[in-house]
Amino acid sequence: MTILLSTVILVLLFVVLVYVAHASELAMVLNGEDKDTTKASRRNGYASLLFLIGFFVAVAWSCKEYLPALLPKSASLHGVETDRLYNEGMILMFLVFILTHIALFWFAYRYNESNNKVAYFYPHNNKLEAIWTIIPALVLVAMAVTGMRVWFDIFDVSKRDTKNMMVLEVTAKQFQWTVRYSGKDNAFGERIIDKEHVSPENELGINWKDAKSHDDFFADKIYLVKNKPVLVKLGAQDVLHSFFLPHFRVKLDCVPGLPTQFYFVPTLTTKEMQEYLSTQPWWQQVNPETGKQKWETFKYELACTEICGRSHYGMQKDVVVVEQKEYDEWMNKQDSYYKTVVQPTLVGNNNIPADKVQALN
Amino acid sequence: MQTVAHGDVHTQDTHHGDHGHHDHHEQSWLEKYVFSTDHKIVAKQFLITGMMWAIVGALLSVLFRIQLAWPDETFPFLETFLGKWAEGGKISNEFYNALITMHGTILIFFVLTGGLSGTFANLLIPYQIGSRDMASGFINMLSYWFFFIASMVMFSSFFIQTGPAAGGWTAYPPLNGLRDTAISKGSGLGFDLWALAMVLFIISSLLGGLNYISTTLNLRTKGMTMFKLPLTVWSFMLTAVIGLLAFPALLAGVALLEFDRLLGTSFYLNDIIINGNLLDYKGGSPILYQHLFWFLGHPEVYIIILPAMGIVSEVISVHSRKPIFGYRAMVMSLSTIVVISFLVWAHHMFVSGMNPNLGAVFMLFSLLIAVPSSIKTFNWLGTIWRGSLRLNSPMMFAIGFVSMFITGGVTGIILGSAAIDIQLHDTYFVIAHFHLVMGVAAFFGMFAGVYHWFPRFYGRYMNETLGMIHFWITLIGGYAIFFPMHFMNDIPRRYYSFANFETFNRFEDMMVFITVSAIIVFLAQLLFVVNFFYSIFKGRKVEGEVCNPWGSTTLEWTAPVERLHGNWPGELPTVYRWPYDYSVNGRDFIPQNEPLKPGEVEHQ
């Protein structure tokens, strides 16, 4: 009913508008077209000026209101660098945006035909054009060079602190993340992707005969250690997914059949981040749903950023950054998947999983 | 006086003779208006089909914006219209993905490529170069009808059991590479129809492009050298060059994708495990598809924006009563964009898992392509400086184009930097960037063109009052929709809901604001459509012997108000001067076909 009503109102509004518009057109013919277009130009000149001011006020207001709602400072080492690039770039671009818009709408006002009867024939000026070719070119090359340095820093293998590094394996599928830790031996059991090893019970194709797999465990949350570099080895089973840790400025696609990896160093524990946010006015606001201040429910999260099907938006996982001690305690509580799930199903000493035994029978 | 190569004159003469023959042959209604080979009718066909598509594409965005603004509410009327796709009045997550996929596909290909290039290249190339029609009217007609069939196939996919394609307009495998509706409903028949429609669309594009290039190169009238061409013609021709080089890569990409889907090949698939079952595909790479796709996909954005740039250059110059500033620099920057547009595609793939060294190269070119774009921007500003601006609908839309192009363009420089892109990739910041720079901006260019050349299409003006309402709502509303998205620089795009995340629930009120703005802007576009059809029948008529309502120099305005088959009743006009003689020698404008006065020096 409301829909019908609003449609009727809308149609009526359109009809009225068309009539008004038609009438003003007739009036224009009566008044003489030249006079009328000059008047329209003057009106639009003022409107341009008004728009310029209104636009800047709206931009300033939204900056004041929403900049505090941006993600907090980076919780990873390289993120500080990319944030710096982003901020510097945005300030520069904001300046360009402001200056060109002042020129554009000011000119529209200042030189509209009611203010400036005769145009100035000025077809080109090579010096000016050279200036506005060379300056942007230099600035852009400078941005490319500084940006490239940061880019290579992030992906350059040779600079990695591999000794003290923690390795994590994350495999994505519709619509969940499987997180595998290598356990105490710091080595993953091998995976073999063939029909013998991959099964509904063993989607990753882990070779349980490989002893290194015996202390591997799957975690329902990603635990990381403060200041300990982590290498995430990424993969996907079915379709493309993308591993996104917004607070750590980490993003990389998970590709079926093609391993990818991302190296980063978390620098703030979850607690430290919460403490920092508790000092920020925006995060002190009370969330009406939970009755708590926003920083209290803050957590690091993992999200998928490559469209992967109907529940793409549901691929969430918690990420927790702790001190080494707390991490060790957590790790000691984790059960080896092999010992708790796989081994009990094995028959005899031949290490054949139960489902395969049934197949043999 | 300019001398012309003999061959040129000859071509024109033959063509003229051809035309004379046609005059005596009475055309049936079907030949004249449906299967027409006349460039003006083909242009109208593209324009009106494009407008229909624009309404559909925009409506889809209103639907998914409703979901984003009010994820917990239900709207019973949605179920009335969409049936099982919105059970209980709530759009399903499957259908949400279909909506965003089709919104992108329709607007990028069917509106801003087919609709924009198809309309204005067809209308303006023959008129502005002083030719009776396209090089091949028949191929031109085929180009439209392939576009029409492609449209029908694409549209039909809305009405099938499993729904339209739902894997994003980029159609990445394996999501779209496996013909398995368990993975996604849209990867069933809906995607096959998508692929078929795209193939037909590419054929249409290539046929059109061949015509634009050969017409511009071969059918210019006497005296019309390349550097006497208006910037519109330059931009249409260069757009066609990009299309001819880039679209075949997409055709190959889509063909291989269908091989994987239908014949079981493994071009893009490797080690796929569905529900614990390893499929037989081995050795392919999903990243190969991304390279093929973006080899078209990035030049595609220039296919969209170049015609808009050409239109805006022309409109700004005419309504400023001033020559375009730096004509040759404008031509050079267009050509530079054509070259560099083929060297930037992998900036869409910085975090796809491709080799990081490759990323560095693409980053350099991605930033450098901003140089020709900034030259153009400064030249537009230089053109309106000290002009005598006639601020009517076409001019305001052209100014709006420059504004949108700047605002959307500057963030492109941020996104082109690979290290920054790690965080920003596939977030709302990207949506803000590309909608402003090639979505809204290209629409502004298209509107500027429609308001400006409407008298050439129909011999009448569009209504100014409605035009102004349309302009100001669209300008303010366009910014209201996309400017706030810059703040959402970590919120993933293509999300049906953010309820599962603590992190992404920070902009709920902004989401509502954006949706309300989008609905208002959508209604304003309907007002444009009303204005368009109203003005065809009731608009103020253009007066005078020839149709030259704006006091323009270019040749399309030297023809009579009636749209004759063959454009000019007698001989074709001869060109003596460049297209931008405005406010020179004490005169408001001097048409291109007016001979130089004794002692007058030709503009270089």
> Can you give B382-440 as a three-state secondary structure string?
HHHCCCCECCCHHHHHHHHHHHHHHHHHHHHHHHCCHHHHHHHCCEHHHHHHHHHHHHH
- Token look-up 């949350």 returns A221
Tokens found for residue B106? 């329709």
CB-CB: which of B93, B276, B492 is closest to A311?
B93
pLDDT confidence band for A345 (50 / 70 / 90): confident
B36-284 matches B304-533 in fold: yes
Assess whether A54 and A178 both reside in one domain.
no
pLDDT higher than threshold 70 for residue A243: yes
- In angstroms, the separation between the Cα of residue A219 and the nearest Cα of chain B is 19
Q: Please list every residue in chain B whose beta carbon sits closer than 8 Å to the beta carbon of residue A48.
A: 391, 399
Packing angle of the helix pair B116-129, B231-258 (nearest 10 deg): 140
In a domain, A142, yes or no: no
Percentage of chain A with pLDDT > 90? 72
Are B419 and A154 in contact by the 8 Å Cβ rule? The answer is: yes
b/e for A183-192, b at 16 or more Cβ within 10 A? beeeebbebe
pLDDT averaged per 10 residues in sequence order, chain B, 604 residues: 39 42 63 87 96 96 96 90 91 95 96 95 96 94 96 96 94 93 91 97 96 96 95 97 96 96 95 92 94 95 96 97 95 96 95 90 94 96 95 97 97 95 96 96 97 95 95 97 96 95 93 97 96 94 88 94 88 94 92 90 78
Per-residue pLDDT at A342: 85
Q: Does A107 touch chain B (CB under 8 A)?
A: yes
**Residue A352: which CATH number?**
2.60.40.420
C-beta atoms of B406 and A104 within 8 A = yes
Amino acid at B332: M
In a domain, A258, yes or no: yes
Q: How many CB pairs under 8 A join A and B?
A: 389
The superfamily in CATH containing domain B36-284 is: Cytochrome c oxidase-like, subunit I domain (1.20.210.10)
Q: Does A151 touch chain B (CB under 8 A)?
A: yes
HSE toward the beta carbon, residue B80, CA cutoff 13 A: 6
CB-CB: which of B326, B387, B527 is closest to A124?
B326
Q: Does A249 touch chain B (CB under 8 A)?
A: yes
Helix residue spans in B24-90 (DSSP H): 29, 39-69, 76-82
Per-residue pLDDT at B21: 44
In a domain, A25, yes or no: yes
- In angstroms, the separation between the Cα of residue B94 and the nearest Cα of chain A is 5
Assess whether A70 and A184 both reside in one domain.
no
For chain B, the domains span 36-284, 304-533, 542-604
Tokens found for residue A275? 């403490």
Per-residue pLDDT at A289: 85
Q: Which domain holds residue A63?
A: 15-80+95-116
C-beta atoms of A306 and B172 within 8 A = yes
Q: Does A20 touch chain B (CB under 8 A)?
A: yes
C-beta atoms of B392 and A148 within 8 A = no
C-beta atoms of B386 and A122 within 8 A = yes
- In angstroms, the separation between the Cα of residue A154 and the nearest Cα of chain B is 8
Tell me the average pLDDT across A54-61: 97
Candidates A102, A140, A146, A176: best to mutate against B (most CBs of B within 10 A) is A140
Tell me the average pLDDT across A310-324: 96
Assess whether A112 and A36 both reside in one domain.
yes
C-beta atoms of A17 and B469 within 8 A = yes
- In angstroms, the separation between the Cα of residue B44 and the nearest Cα of chain A is 23
pLDDT confidence band for A351 (50 / 70 / 90): low
Assess whether A173 and A316 both reside in one domain.
yes
Per-residue pLDDT at B5: 40
Assess whether A56 and A194 both reside in one domain.
no
C-beta atoms of B320 and A111 within 8 A = yes
Q: Is B106 helix (H, G, I), strand (E, B) or coil?
A: helix
DSSP code for B188 = T
- In angstroms, the separation between the Cα of residue A147 and the nearest Cα of chain B is 6
Q: Does A296 touch chain B (CB under 8 A)?
A: no
C-beta atoms of B418 and A103 within 8 A = no
Q: Please list every residue in chain B whose beta carbon sits closer than 8 Å to the beta carbon of residue A199.
A: 276-277
Per-residue pLDDT at A346: 72
Q: Please list every residue in chain B whose beta carbon sits closer than 8 Å to the beta carbon of residue A314.
A: 500
| CATH classification for the domain delimited by B304-533, as one of 3.20.20.140, 3.30.2320.20, 1.20.210.10, 3.40.190.10 | 1.20.210.10
In a domain, A293, yes or no: yes
Select from B189, B144, B125, B145 the least CA-distant residue to B163. B189
- In angstroms, the separation between the Cα of residue A42 and the nearest Cα of chain B is 8
Amino acid at B602: E
Question: Rounded CA gap, A228 and A328, in Å?
Answer: 13
Who contacts B372 (Cβ-Cβ below 8 Å, separation ≥6)? B332, B333, B334, B336, B337, B340
Q: Please list every residue in chain B whose beta carbon sits closer than 8 Å to the beta carbon of residue A100.
A: 377, 381, 406
CB-CB: which of A45, A132, A173 is closest to B378?
A132
Which residues make beta-bridge pairs with A179?
A: A170, A219
3-state helix vs strand vs coil in chain A, percent to 5: 50, 20, 30
Q: Please list every residue in chain B whose beta carbon sits closer than 8 Å to the beta carbon of residue A51.
A: 472, 475-476
Tell me the average pLDDT across A292-296: 94
ipTM higher than the 0.85 cut: yes
In a domain, A168, yes or no: yes
Q: Please list every residue in chain A whose beta carbon sits closer than 8 Å to the beta carbon of residue B285.
A: 255, 257-258
CB-CB: which of B324, B411, B426 is closest to A242?
B426
Q: Please list every residue in chain A whose beta carbon sits closer than 8 Å to the beta carbon of residue B328.
A: 124
Q: Does A117 touch chain B (CB under 8 A)?
A: yes
C-beta atoms of A90 and B352 within 8 A = no
Total residue count of chain A as it appears in this document: 361
- In angstroms, the separation between the Cα of residue B598 and the nearest Cα of chain A is 20
In a domain, A133, yes or no: no
Q: Classify the C-alpha dihedral B114-B247-B351-B364 as positive or negative.
A: negative
Assess whether A354 and A233 both reside in one domain.
yes
Assess whether A176 and A99 both reside in one domain.
no
Question: Rounded CA gap, B268 and B286, in Å?
Answer: 4
pLDDT per position as a tens digit, A89-125? 999 999 999 999 999 999 999 999 999 989 999 999 9
Q: Does A52 touch chain B (CB under 8 A)?
A: no
C-beta atoms of B495 and A238 within 8 A = no
In a domain, A224, yes or no: yes
Structurally, chain A folds into a number of domains equal to: 2
Per-residue pLDDT at A359: 41
pLDDT per position as a tens digit, B125-157? 999 999 999 999 999 999 999 999 999 999 999
Are A115 and B440 in contact by the 8 Å Cβ rule? The answer is: no
pLDDT per position as a tens digit, B491-507? 999 999 999 999 999 99
Per-residue pLDDT at A352: 54
C-beta atoms of A69 and B506 within 8 A = yes
Q: Please list every residue in chain B whose beta carbon sits closer than 8 Å to the beta carbon of residue A244.
A: 426, 492
CB-CB: which of B183, B351, B414 is closest to A242?
B351
